[in-house]
Structure 1
Amino acid sequence: MSKVTESTIIGGSPKADHLCVLVHGLWGSPDHMQNIAKSLRSQYRPDELYMLLAKRNSGSFTYDGIELGGERVCAEIEEEMRSIESQGGKITKLSIIGYSLGGLVSRYAVGLLYAKGILDTVECMNFTTFASPHLGVRSPLKGWHNRVWNVVGARTLSMSGRQLFTIDKFRDTGRPLLSVLADPTSIFMLGLREFKRHTLYTNIVNDRSAVHYTTGITKTDPYHGSLEDLKVNYLKGSEGVILDPANPITPRPKLRSRATLSSVTSAVVRWIKRIPFMLLIAIFVPIGTVAFLCNSMVQTIRSSGQIKRHETGQVSFNIDEYRVPLLIKELRGEVENVYEALNSSQNQDFLAAEDEDDDYDMGPEERSMMSRERRLSAPTQPTLALTAHQFEMIRSLDSLKWRKYPVWIHNHRHSHAAIIVRWEKEAFGEGWVVLKHFAEGEFLI
């Protein structure tokens, strides 16, 4: 096919009957999705696949929350479909790709499209997420540790932060929005079930924004700790980047051996390599944290104004069309860096038989669920200390039979960006392996 250029990536021909919508993440912009779009365009002509890069949630607008973001994306999809029809085309197939927070925004938009009857007019093909925190970003910690990051961190990202840390109560449900998104009887799950294929790509290491348990929708993390104790099984043809989802790892037999000069030297070298990073944390994080918190205050105030204008109808579309029943029956780069440094400094914790339920603020039903999760825990893969809502989310979301691909980015510590080659950067090269796998083997046309 013809060479892919910037002008031929986005949009398409009115002859195309398949619309693919790409939704960026927190602090993001449509540019972040360019290389996913480029990979798809290298496989499919403009008269086969029409691509829309959602843009109304760009930058600080991502602070406004998943609900408002989903309404904006839904409106963009409707407008694009009408525009294509006005040119003599007709969309009969729909695919949606979400990155990071964009995966959650996309799930909300899907629910609205379902409720409005739009999914009845198209064949739902692919729903795909890259490094999306489906279970939120709350660190699996017990007891007072929650107050450090899970409570404070939740209040630095306006409405989106409250929803990502699951401390919100969505509308009159009395539950976090993410819990409602995963409710089997909600418009969101009913809409997701319409798609033929559900795929997710999850980083197993170095994702400082959204760790494996949440992006992979799992209550365990077999990659937590030293990967040297594991034999990693890669997917054939993935060039040592994508793990075999059927058999990702095999524990290595533990051999008793005395420390040797080479092993000690290796440990010292690894420690020395971490010195620049440790100095970065020690010097710049305190400064960056102040800037981060100041910026968070400004963005929260700004976001509150945006939400208020949205609620009072001062937007480019009729908000009443998107407030349907839910249940049936600029400092962005630096701000992101500081958030990731703070978030990645939290350590995961696990459930154990001897854990005291008093460490959790739970009712009888939640205590019963926590006990059940302990009983089901495998000795080699202990269950993470998630909330009762998160365990319910996992059970419901897993009913969709996701095709889950673990990804190991070796060459850069910012795997959250590298997994989609967010910028043209040589060190992000492994991300092209992921995008090639998706475009050539996963995407249903």
Structure 2
Amino acid sequence: MSYTGGSPKAEHLCVLVHGLWGNPDHMRNIAKGLREKFPPEELYLLLAKRNSGSFTYDGIERGGERVCAEIQEEMRLIEQRGGKITKLSIVGYSLGGLVSRYAVGLLHAKGILDTVECMNFTTFASPHLGVRTPLKGWHNHVWNVLGARTLSMSGRQLFIIDKFRDTGRPLLSVLADPKSIFMSGLRRFKRHSLYTNIVNDRSAVYYTTAIEKTDPYKNIDSLNINFLEGFGDVILDPTNPFGPRRMVPDPASFSSVTKSSIMWLKRIPFMLALAIFVPVGVMAFLLNSVIQTVRSSSRIKLHEDGKAGLDVHEYRVPLWITEMREEVEHVFGALNSSQTQEHLAIGDDDDEDGDEMEEHRARMKRERRMSMPMQPTLALAPCQFEMIDALHSVRWRKYPVWIHKVGHSHAAMIVRMDKPSFSEGYVVLRHFVNDEFLI
């Protein structure tokens, strides 16, 4: 059965947008799940393809322009075949969720959303707040600044150190501005859903994919997890995901100490391999980053000059409205996940000055009052707190996911490839297709 495209009779178009280093095939199992339930006469599926591979380095806005162009072209082709799209849904995975939010703003500004009923906007493991690790002091300048330079323009935007056009602000901050075309377009959808990994997501951790100020799952062994009925031990109950677990300490014994020692000894070969191969992987990753950044810069210039097959002037609309590849990813994920999140603490001072420092201090105090003792507020950037408040205005339906079988939950969540260790991802997709997707 073909899972892409559809019949001219289909009035509902669903667009699937892959993530960083990705390609349309990464969205294959989401599309298959939708097609198994909704026939071609009921749902038309478009897997966006113009941002494949290293093209995702070129920046979120260029990716959004390409996706917007693909949607327009597909709608025109459907009309030429005698069809008419009256409903629109968009599904974004990882970086694709941010690219989709940008494309939605363009579709809104160009009046295309006026012609359709906006149904579902769904993201899987998308870093809505960027991938900046919550760190304080000099750590922030080591990883969050240097790490941003490894992914060309997209890296700077994901680490929120860019200044988008003439706004002087990071692109992600502009994407979440309540008065922007992007938030206006996003608000038009009937349902906003997100799926977020609570553990083992090396590419995009919980706080950013869940749009939250805390990470209650950092010490997951201290929690009693409540799962959604009918979905095994994979999807947590969104209304009551966890409670405290009563811990009963076990008395130390010779056998337990011996077992611990044996486990430590078994880890020695792995640690030695790590010491040998990680530096090699890091060097290869950095070398590839330099090459891809140079290539990306060349593509960006062609794109901006209108020589890449897209008239950029058509997509450079006003931002404001008056109405209110696998191994490379693994290395980057390992580097990113090695950064330990830090929390705000009473008495902490940032390096900000004047009114901005006072405003940030006031926000910190508010966050401390609102946070439960077991959920300290993460040391996010001021603009990230603003993004959270703005994005919460669209009332997301949030589904925490616990992938147990594999340490790369980012890929397993959507079954990015067919392998037994990714099988829990099919539970997530079943929930999305049967319980969440509005037709």
Return the TM-score normalized by structure 1: 0.95
Note if 1:133 corresponds to 2:127: yes
Aligned partner of residue 26 in structure 2, secondary structure: helix
1:246 to 226, 229, 239: 239
1:313 to 285, 302, 306: 306
Distance in 1 between the 2:268 and 2:375 partners?
Answer: 31
Aligned partner of residue 9 in structure 1, secondary structure: coil
Note if 1:411 corresponds to 2:405: yes
Aligned partner of residue 292 in structure 1, secondary structure: helix
Aligned partner of residue 149 in structure 1, secondary structure: helix
2:14 to 3, 20, 31: 20
Note if 1:380 corresponds to 2:374: yes
For structure 1, which runs of at least 5 residues remain unmatched after alignment?
Answer: none
Return the TM-score normalized by structure 2: 0.96
Aligned to 1:39: 33
> Aligned-residue CA RMSD in angstroms?
1.7
% same residue: 71
Aligned to 1:51: 45
Aligned partner of residue 398 in structure 2, secondary structure: strand
More displaced 10-residue stretch of structure 1: 24-33 or 365-374:
365-374
Q: Structure 1 residues 12 and 146 mapped into 2: Cα distance closer, same or farther (>3 Å)?
A: same
Q: What CA deviation, in whole Å up to 9, does each residue of 1:375-422 have, x standing for no partner?
A: 333212100000110001111111111110000000000100000000
- 5 Å matches for 1:222-301? 222-225=216-219, 227-260=220-253, 263-264=256-257, 267-268=260-261, 271=264, 275=268, 278-301=271-294
Displacement of 1:273: 6.5
Distance in 1 between the 2:61 and 2:263 partners?
Answer: 44
Distance in 2 between the 1:166 and 1:240 partners?
Answer: 35
Q: What CA deviation, in whole Å up to 9, does each residue of 1:38-80 have, x standing for no partner?
A: 0111100011000000000000000000000000000000000
Aligned to 2:198: 204
Note if 1:221 corresponds to 2:220: no
Distance in 1 between the 2:5 and 2:44 partners?
Answer: 5
- 5 Å matches for 1:342-361? 342-358=335-351
Note if 1:371 corresponds to 2:365: yes
Aligned to 1:76: 70
Kept in 1, the 8 Å contact 2:303–2:310? The answer is no
Displacement of 1:260: 3.9
Kept in 1, the 8 Å contact 2:223–2:243? The answer is yes
Kept in 2, the 8 Å contact 1:285–1:341? The answer is no
For structure 2, which runs of at least 5 residues remain unmatched after alignment?
Answer: none
Q: Structure 1 residues 274 and 114 mapped into 2: Cα distance closer, same or farther (>3 Å)?
A: farther
Distance in 2 between the 1:261 and 1:74 partners?
Answer: 64
Distance in 2 between the 1:140 and 1:442 partners?
Answer: 31
Note if 1:181 corresponds to 2:140: no
Q: Structure 1 residues 256 and 46 mapped into 2: Cα distance closer, same or farther (>3 Å)?
A: same
Kept in 2, the 8 Å contact 1:142–1:359? The answer is no
More displaced 10-residue stretch of structure 1: 249-258 or 145-154:
249-258
Q: Which amino acid in the other structure matches residue 252 of structure 1?
A: R
2:142 to 131, 134, 148: 148
Q: Structure 1 residues 186 and 359 mapped into 2: Cα distance closer, same or farther (>3 Å)?
A: closer
Q: Structure 1 residues 359 and 174 mapped into 2: Cα distance closer, same or farther (>3 Å)?
A: closer
Kept in 2, the 8 Å contact 1:142–1:360? The answer is no
1:328 to 313, 321, 328: 321
Question: How many residues get paired?
Answer: 436
Displacement of 1:274: 5.2
Aligned to 2:383: 389
Displacement of 1:239: 1.3
Distance in 2 between the 1:269 and 1:419 partners?
Answer: 33
Distance in 1 between the 2:379 and 2:95 partners?
Answer: 22
Kept in 1, the 8 Å contact 2:350–2:357? The answer is no
